[in-house]
């Protein structure tokens, strides 16, 4: 069953590094900042909200770089697939920080080599394997 709300995600790059977080709850693993779209919310507005909630930054410039349905992508609501909108955020205000400590182990920039180490251990959230691959991160 596809989640009726859909999901958004963000790719933020600083030099060669990418902003990631580590989710403690389903779906567990390394991921980008992401979340569900609230009812009546546009994907780009949901992305701005999630970026502020999870990392404390405000998106100033972003571009849609990924839009597709990802199967075998479970969530806490019981859905097993999601329609995803992922934006590359090229400008933002604020310094990313670890805000939702009950949800995430950390929020920080990682090198591509560090992210690939998580991939080798199968420790990247399943949707983000597809998204990171599409973005040339994996």
CATH of the domain at 110: 3.90.79.10
Question: 56-103: per-residue pLDDT in tens?
Answer: 999 999 999 999 999 888 777 777 888 999 999 999 999 999 999 999
Residues 17, 99: Cα–Cα separation, whole Å: 20
Number of domains in the chain: 1
Residue 130 in any domain: the answer is yes
Radius of gyration for the alpha carbons in the chain, expressed in angstroms and rounded: 14
Q: Which of 92, 87, 93 is nearest to 44 (CA)?
A: 87
Residue 102 in any domain: the answer is yes
Domain residues for the domain of 55 are 7-134
Residues 85, 95: Cα–Cα separation, whole Å: 23
| Predicted TM-score (pTM) of this structure | 0.93
Residue 53 in any domain: the answer is yes
Contact call for residues 111 and 16 (beta carbons, < 8 A)? yes
Contact call for residues 37 and 5 (beta carbons, < 8 A)? yes
Question: 8-21: per-residue pLDDT in tens?
Answer: 999 999 999 999 99
Question: 23-67: per-residue pLDDT in tens?
Answer: 998 889 999 999 999 999 999 999 999 999 999 999 999 999 999
Residue 65 in any domain: the answer is yes
SS3 86: strand
Other C-beta atoms closer than 10 Å to the C-beta of 116 total 15
Residues 97, 120: Cα–Cα separation, whole Å: 26
Residue 11 in any domain: the answer is yes
Residue 1 in any domain: the answer is no
Residue 124 in any domain: the answer is yes
Residues 16, 3: Cα–Cα separation, whole Å: 33
Residue 105 in any domain: the answer is yes
């Amino acid at each position: 069953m596809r989640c009726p709300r859909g999901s958004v995600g963000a790719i933020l790059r600083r030099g060669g590094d990418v902003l990631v977080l580590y989710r403690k709850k389903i779906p567990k693993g390394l991921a980008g900042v992401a979340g569900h779209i609230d009812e009546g919310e546009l994907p780009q507005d949901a992305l701005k909200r999630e970026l502020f909630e999870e990392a404390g930054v405000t998106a100033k410039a972003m571009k849609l770089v990924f839009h597709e349905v990802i199967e075998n992508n479970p969530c806490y609501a019981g859905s097993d697939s999601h329609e995803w909108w992922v934006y590359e955020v090229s400008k933002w205000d604020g310094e990313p920080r670890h805000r939702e400590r009950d949800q995430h182990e950390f929020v920080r920039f990682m090198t591509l080599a560090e992210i690939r180490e998580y991939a080798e251990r199968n420790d990247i959230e399943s949707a983000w394997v597809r998204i990171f691959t599409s973005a040339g991160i994996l």
